[in-house]
Amino acid sequence: MAVLLEEIAQSVEIWLKLIKKPQPYVDPNLDPVLLVPGIAGSILKAVDDNGRGERVWVRIIGCRLQVPD
């Protein structure tokens, strides 16, 4: 009897996980960024809510240079 009750409880938990609304992977409050590809790297441009922009030079091995707007 106890085993049957435990199996029912596990089944209900699994069912509740299946019908639970999935959470988005991306924060909807974040602004999109523009990635401009280049031969030696890419320029990543982002703008915050105040209109302040920032461009960053990105290479395969990491960030090399920050370019002010």
Mean pLDDT, residues 22-33 = 66
Burial call 9-38: b when 16+ CB within 10 Å, e when fewer = eeeeeeeeeeeeeeeeeeeeeeeeeeeeee
Domain span holding position 43: 2-68
Percent of the chain clearing pLDDT 90 (strictly above): 0
Asked which of 5-9, 13-17, 20-24, 50-54 is least confident by mean pLDDT, the reply is 20-24
Specify the number of domains making up the chain. Answer: 1
Section 10-34 average pLDDT: 70
Report the half-sphere exposure of 41 (CA within 13 A, side-chain side). Answer: 14
Helix, coil or strand: residue 29: coil
Q: Residues 57, 67: contact at Cβ < 8 Å?
A: yes
Token output for 67: 């370019």
